[in-house]
Amino acid sequence: MRYLIVGFVVLILLIPSGSRLPLAVTPAYPPPIRLPACPQPTVADVDAMLALLPQAGYDCTEQIAVALRPRIEPVYVQELLAIAVEPTFDTRTRRNALRILGRLAESGPVTRARELMVQQQSMVQMTALTLLERERDNFLLQDAVWLLDSHYYPSWVAAPALEQIALGGEYAPALRYRAARARARLIAAEYGPLRDDSQRFIVAALRSADPGVRTAAAEAISFLRDDQLTARTDWLQLVEEALVHEPPLHVATDSGDPRGAALLTFLESTPTTLTARAALARAADRLAGETATVPRLNALRIAYEHLALPLQHESATVVLRTGPAETSDGDELLAIVATTYAQARRFLGSVGETPIPGEEHLPLQVLIFPGQAAYRDYMRAFTPFTVDVDGIYDVQQNTLYSYRRRDDQTANTLAETLRHEVAHAVTAAYLFPGQWHTPGYHAEPKGWFDEGFAEVLAAQTKPDAPLQPHPRHLATICAQPLKPALADLVALRTGYDQYGTFDYPAAWALMHFLLAERPAAAAALISAWRNQTYHLANWPTLGGWSDWTSAESDWHFAIERWCRL
């Protein structure tokens, strides 16, 4: 591999780098390399890890990045940069290299990986810009935009290339939106009045035929500073004209985006006309000085809910809205939500008897959209949450969002998603004091409990029966060459309060083990969370084990027994 890329390494070594202060010291004893999602779950060194990139899927690449952080050296960064621009490698390998570079760049402060990526900033920016100017693969370009926009912001030198992609009709919708949004974010970093080239970009983007590009333009206007809005009336007129030309409001169906299907070989979720309309409404509210009440945005949201959610079912504790109008299972779905709420409280034992003061707000609001496209449309337009998940519980609004689905759209049924999200509502009201953004809320990693508990509830199709296993997670755990490491799992933040992929099967297996086979340990841990006396370092003793080894052995023995049944 190094023979192929030595030429590029020589070139990038000639580029001036950032700070040359000494790097943080590499750990004397880095954690063992664990790559359970990779073709080879154990490898000897970094060279062997990088050799896996051509076969690595998303999860495997994430695990390589984690294992590489404490072992990183300049030569490995240079090798990854060279792979990213080397056309003899396939696109997936090159994308994997870019993703690992991004994960290294987002490492914690005062770490060797972060400091090294700061030193290599000019090299990374040159590599990403080279890709933007020369490549045509949409996914590879998306990763290049992500690297510049998320980790090396503001990269002013990339502005012309981002504009070309955003306004160019030959690119896929998701890439055009990402490029347009990255270009718009550069405007927010400008000093003084709005620059002429930025104004021209916003006007051109507002008139784009692509809804994602129009969305990015409207978002840029919404976040213009007052000193950049020297012609507020003119901007409001432009936005109102764009709103008039938006297509009529309608509920999206699950036919997907044909442009995405043609260009990317699968249906990729991208902004739609509803996204653009909502962004334009926000911009108009901001220009009209009505950001406190956002009347245009609220009117749009209410109109869409009226179209998408015509049916309402209520109980003393739940208000459920759904669609389409011809469905007749609303009472059944209402019962699933109410029953799961009560069952989750029972699983918490005495802690589930009394809510945290001020944290339970009934009735719980539940919105079940008629399809995945309608759900994603709404979530992207009116909430700050990611759209590519099966459901979300918003504690601020006390609202659960999900959708009706086909079997081929997701591994989770609607009932499983409802039970999972209801569990989050219960832990928010009864178990975890504070809220997501409360200072100190994430002082201790809680993903293993919060997500593991939710997955336990998701599997309970018979509320009055003994605790049921989760068949899919059990099969996954039993098929893995390595059992989950307990200490790694309970410290896991990626995919929960940090970006990445969470280990749902392992979290389910631990919580099922605790609730079904070690109820005293479960009760002690639950009490510690509620009383805010939980500390990761004390996990084994809280549960009644002498140390980490004995706790993990006990859990692994149970897994072996489950897998033999």
> What is the set of active-site residues?
421
Residues ≥6 apart with Cβ < 8 Å to 442: 493, 497
Q: Which residue is listed with tokens 């389409």? A: 324
Distances (CA, A) of 120 to 12, 49, 137: 10, 21, 25
- Cα distance between residue 288 and residue 535, in whole Å: 49
- Cα distance between residue 382 and residue 301, in whole Å: 7
- Cα distance between residue 482 and residue 479, in whole Å: 9
Query: 508 near 460, Cβ under 8 Å?
Result: no
Query: 422 near 344, Cβ under 8 Å?
Result: yes
CA triple 344-439-457, angle to 5 deg: 15
DSSP per residue, 443-475: SS--HHHHHHHHHHHHT-S-TTSSPPP-HHHHH
Distances (CA, A) of 493 to 47, 173, 446: 27, 31, 8
| DSSP code at position 439 | T
Query: 470 near 428, Cβ under 8 Å?
Result: no
| DSSP code at position 278 | H
Closest CA to 324 of 337, 307, 336: 307
Query: 495 near 489, Cβ under 8 Å?
Result: no
Distances (CA, A) of 430 to 365, 398, 439: 17, 14, 19
Strand partners, 320: 313, 366
Helix (H, G, I), strand (E, B) or coil at 269: coil
| DSSP code at position 409 | T
